[in-house]
Amino acid sequence: MFKPLREIRVLDLTNVLAGPFCCHQLAHMGADVIKVEVPGSGDLARQLGADPELNEKLMGVSFLAQNPGKRSLTLNLKSAAGRAVLHRLVQSADVLVENFRPGVMDRLGVGYEALRKINPRLVYCAISGFGQDGPLHDLPAYDQIIQGMSGVMSVTGAPENAPYRVGYPISDTVGGITAAFAIASALADASREEGCFIDVSMLEATLATMGWAVSNYLVAGREPQPMGNDNVTASPSGTFRTADGLINIAANKQEQFEAVCRVLGVPALIDDPRFAKRQARLQHRAALTALLEEALAHRTTEQWWTLLNEAGVPCGPVYRVPEVLAHPQIRERGMIGTFDRVPGVGKAVSLLRTGVKINRQAPAVEMPPPALGEHTDEILAELGYSAGEIERMHEERAV
């Protein structure tokens, strides 16, 4: 399997989601990711998830999801011996990722300026809610805070219930992907002679994904509005009721609208002045939706999906999570990886991989998510510490 980052070592000093998700991507691309965690408790995500027993074991589902392929080293950065270990690690590393509040790493004496003296080629990535400077830089931020402040919530939901939070931590996830892209870009610079400091703001990363909606305001002066499941640029384009559920239809072109009318058996709508042209359909969206749903009520979602696709109309069912995970399109492309044995879990665990294929293969990692500190002694030995030195560090609670 092609592993483009196979010679790269990443130090993952992150917690919960944005940072771990970033390093999750890098691990699947072959990087040696060493997760540096606080002794005793580790990543907070170890205590989060739908299985209380796993949370008690510090192997929470939230942790399992983003940490396969990593090795876990516990390190007390408040101790001199712990900082010395990190310094030695940095000498062998290519990348360090952290998502502490701005200034925390500097106060510990292990910020970018200190570490670049140890390894001038280090790519140092700091992920935070608002970035390393600006009036809000020192405020704590979680996904929901960023969703609200970025404008995402203002355009999510329908007019009667917005603002609404997106149903999963989209700002954390986007922040992690943005960081992974920036890190990979820095590593790809073949002429690079020194490292760099990457400052990822979750607020800005989230806002960047709203370019289409935001540009309507910046350029045309139109403030984005919540529209539920309707597409702001086209009609009929959204979610429609069928005989047994819902179907998404995206008839964004004139020929697709006409195909919908023919397939649904309502060809008269093609020449109806209310719907004949794109702008007219937007103005009379509600009336058009009502007429189309009246026709859609005569067949199931599955039946309409087949008929509309055959006519060249983009459409698809609205799945629940178990349904999409069970679908052959996901199963056959290797999106789900399974680990038969996971330390501290006691059962097989299936997890999502990345959404990319390289040479027709889904990147995968060999190691399951690690138990807290599982690889501490192994990594310390790799760094050249003797058995006696390792024992003393345990006694001093440096690791």
Where in the chain does DSSP place strands (E)?
9-13, 32-37, 70-74, 95-98, 123-128, 196-201, 237-241, 246-250, 315-317, 336-339, 349-352
**Max CA-CA distance within the chain?**
86
Which residue, 127, 71, 29, is CA-closest to 355?
A: 29
Separation between Cα atoms, residue 99 and residue 43, nearest integer Å:
12
Q: Of the residues 43, 94, 143, 172, which is catalytic? A: 172
Task: Compute how many other C-beta atoms are within 10 angstroms of the C-beta atom of residue 99.
Answer: 26
Show Cβ contacts of residue 300 under 8 Å, excluding neighbours closer than 6 positions. Answer: 242, 243, 244, 245
* Distance spanning both ends of the chain, measured CA to CA: 34
DSSP letters along 245-265, please?
SEEEEE--SHHHHHHHHHHTT
Q: Which secondary structure element, helix H or strand E, spans residue 369, and what is its range?
A: none
Distances from the Cα of 304 to the Cαs of 121, 299, 317, in angstroms? Answer: 57, 7, 9
Q: Compute the CA torsion angle 211, 216, 221, 224 (nearest 10 deg).
A: -90
The question of whether 172 is a catalytic residue gets the answer yes
Residue with tokens 């000093």: 13
Question: β-strands 123-128, 196-201: how paired?
Answer: parallel
Give the integer Cα–Cα distance in Å for 361 and 354: 11
Phi, psi of 126 (to 5 degrees): -110, 120
Q: What is the rounded CA–CA span in Å between residue 289 and residue 280?
A: 13
Active site positions, annotated: 172
